[in-house]
């Protein structure tokens, strides 16, 4: 499983960093000139381009990343071995932080042309953005366009002969490479998976954060303070754990409107139980231990007891369980969007990609196989890292 020649995760990260920088140099250059233009003009752009902004943020973050990496603790973290799991997780990290660099097309980019629909993986297409001249022949336009789209290498002679009949936006013929094929609208599947990664992870990490906060607070209250509340919450979490997860989530969708934050809240509410149980048992075990009792007798304040005596001890189990939780919540989110519970994130998530691909399963297998594969591989990697952390903390 282990690739022993490259011992450090840092090398891999810097490798991907340099590779994407080289591959996307012109893209970044364009972005910077674009930003510069926007900043220089007196009138701000009328439409707020969220996609562009996100990309600019990620690019600037990318360029400042080397300075961030100088920190000691991050260095320690980066000195891990490069296993398959670490590779997958760092690629996911790149996809979450800098989707604009891994794929040069936006998720919603599609050339509105029939020749681009449902292309198999690793196919190449040539196209040129042309607008007809006032005196150009309609038939000619169609002919040239069809010619461009239908041949593997475009007939340059035909194109050059008819050049006068178009106002060319891009005078060159552009070559587009579709690594994982295209969907029914001609969108690039690879870019959609990359942007779906970002959406899935933002949702699941914030939901896991919410679940973590709920679990830790409830666990502390019931383990540290009140016995009655503890018993009630324990019963409640037992009951909630007995309900199959998907039914619980579906029930909660009745309460909320269907938007992004509602999804985070729903997934957070359904995930706190396991964390609560762990915090509760750990805290009530620590409460009886000698070091804690003596610290209390010495008269430390409550905040000191909680944050200096209890928290560092339960940190290991907490980290492991939050990793499991993130994997579970990604699964739940993907299942929900696969089933078609629409929360309108604006971007296609992994589950939505699988669901829309299933309609074309007879002819285009790649629309299902790749998103489903990415989903399962990343979940397995997360589970694996959680198990690995568990071994590291030895509990």
Partner 1 sequence: MANRLKMKYNGLKILIKRVLSSSALLLLVVSLVFLIIRIAPGNPANKFLSPDLSPKLFEKIQERYAFDGSLPEQYFKFVENIFSGNLGYSITFKIPVTEVIFQFLSLTVILAIAAFITQTLISVILVFLTYRNKSVNNKIQKLSLIIYTVPSYVIGLYLVIIFSVLLGIMPISGLPDAQSAGILDYFHHLMLPVVTLSLPGIALFFSYLNDAVQKNKNEGYVLLFRSIGMSEKKIFLKHILPNSIVPLLSIVAIEVGFLLSGSLIVEVLYSLPGFGKLTFTAFMDRDYPLIIGTTLFTAFVMIFSNMAADLIKYYFDKRFRELI
Helix, strand counts (H, E) of the chain: 17, 4
Residues pairing with 176 in the sheet:
125
Pick between residue 203 and residue 331 the one whose CB is nearest to partner 1. Answer: 331
Using CB under 8 A as the binding rule, whether residue 258 contacts partner 1 is answered as no
Closest CB 352 distance from partner 1, rounded Å: 13
Pick between residue 213 and residue 243 the one whose CB is nearest to partner 1. Answer: 243
Q: Contact region for partner 1 (CB under 8 A) — 32-40, 56-64, 167-175, 368-376?
A: 368-376
Pick between residue 108 and residue 335 the one whose CB is nearest to partner 1. Answer: 335
Among 180, 283, 327, 353, binds partner 1 (CB under 8 A): 327
- Alpha carbon dihedral 9, 13, 19, 23, in 10-degree steps, equals 150
Q: What 3 state SS string does 286-350 have?
A: HCCCHHHHHHHHCCCCHHHHHHHHHHHHHHHHHHHHHHHHHHHHHHHHHHHHHHCCCCCCCCCCH
Pick between residue 140 and residue 365 the one whose CB is nearest to partner 1. Answer: 365
Using CB under 8 A as the binding rule, whether residue 331 contacts partner 1 is answered as yes
Burial class, 119, CB count within 10 angstroms (exposed 0-12 / middle 13-18 / buried 19+): buried
Closest CB 89 distance from partner 1, rounded Å: 15
Using CB under 8 A as the binding rule, whether residue 243 contacts partner 1 is answered as yes
Who's near 353: CB < 8 A, 6+ residues apart?
Answer: 189, 192, 193, 196, 367, 371
Using CB under 8 A as the binding rule, whether residue 108 contacts partner 1 is answered as no
Pick between residue 144 and residue 368 the one whose CB is nearest to partner 1. Answer: 368
Using CB under 8 A as the binding rule, whether residue 339 contacts partner 1 is answered as yes
Who's near 383: CB < 8 A, 6+ residues apart?
Answer: 324, 327
188 by DSSP, 3-state: which?
Answer: strand
Using CB under 8 A as the binding rule, whether residue 383 contacts partner 1 is answered as yes
Closest CB 251 distance from partner 1, rounded Å: 7
Residues pairing with 182 in the sheet:
188
Using CB under 8 A, list all residues that contact partner 1: 239, 242-247, 250-251, 253-255, 327, 331, 334-335, 338-341, 354, 358, 361-362, 365, 368-369, 372, 375-376, 379-380, 383
């Amino acid at each position: 499983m282990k690739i022993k020649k490259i011992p450090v995760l840092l090398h891999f990260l810097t490798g991907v960093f340099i590779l994407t920088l080289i591959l996307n140099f012109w893209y970044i250059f364009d972005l910077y000139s674009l930003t510069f233009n926007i900043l220089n003009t007196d009138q701000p752009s009328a439409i707020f381009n969220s996609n562009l902004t996100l990309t600019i943020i990620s690019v600037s973050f990318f360029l400042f990343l080397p300075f961030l990496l100088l920190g000691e603790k991050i260095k320690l973290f980066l000195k891990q071995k490069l296993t398959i799991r670490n590779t997958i997780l760092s690629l996911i990290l790149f996809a979450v932080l800098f989707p604009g660099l891994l794929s040069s097309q936006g998720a919603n980019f599609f050339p509105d042309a029939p020749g681009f629909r449902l292309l198999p993986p690793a196919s190449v297409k040539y196209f040129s953005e042309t607008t007809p001249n006032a005196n150009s022949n309609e038939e000619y336009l169609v002919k040239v366009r069809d010619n461009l789209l239908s041949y593997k290498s475009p007939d340059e002679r035909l194109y050059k002969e008819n050049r006068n009949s178009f106002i060319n936006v891009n005078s060159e013929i552009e070559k587009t490479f579709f690594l994982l094929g295209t969907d029914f609208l001609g969108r690039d599947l690879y870019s959609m998976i990359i942007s779906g990664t970002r959406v899935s992870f933002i949702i699941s990490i914030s939901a896991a954060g919410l679940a973590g906060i709920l679990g830790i607070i409830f666990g502390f209250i019931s383990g540290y303070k009140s016995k009655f509340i503890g018993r009630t919450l324990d019963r409640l979490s037992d009951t909630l754990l007995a309900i199959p997860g998907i039914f619980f989530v579906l029930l909660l969708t009745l309460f909320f409107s269907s938007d992004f934050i509602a999804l985070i809240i729903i997934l957070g509410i359904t995930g706190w139980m396991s964390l609560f149980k762990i915090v509760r048992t750990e805290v009530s075990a620590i409460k009886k231990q000698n070091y804690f009792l003596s610290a209390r007798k010495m008269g430390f304040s409550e905040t000191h007891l909680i944050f200096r005596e209890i928290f560092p001890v339960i940190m290991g189990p907490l980290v492991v369980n939050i990793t499991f939780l993130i994997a579970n919540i990604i699964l739940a989110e993907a299942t929900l969007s696969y089933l078609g519970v629409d929360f309108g994130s604006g971007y296609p998530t992994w589950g939505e990609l699988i669901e829309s691909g299933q309609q074309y399963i007879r002819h285009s297998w790649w629309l299902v196989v790749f998103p489903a594969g990415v989903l399962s591989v990343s979940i397995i990697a997360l589970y694996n890292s959680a198990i690995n952390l568990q071994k590291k903390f030895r509990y």
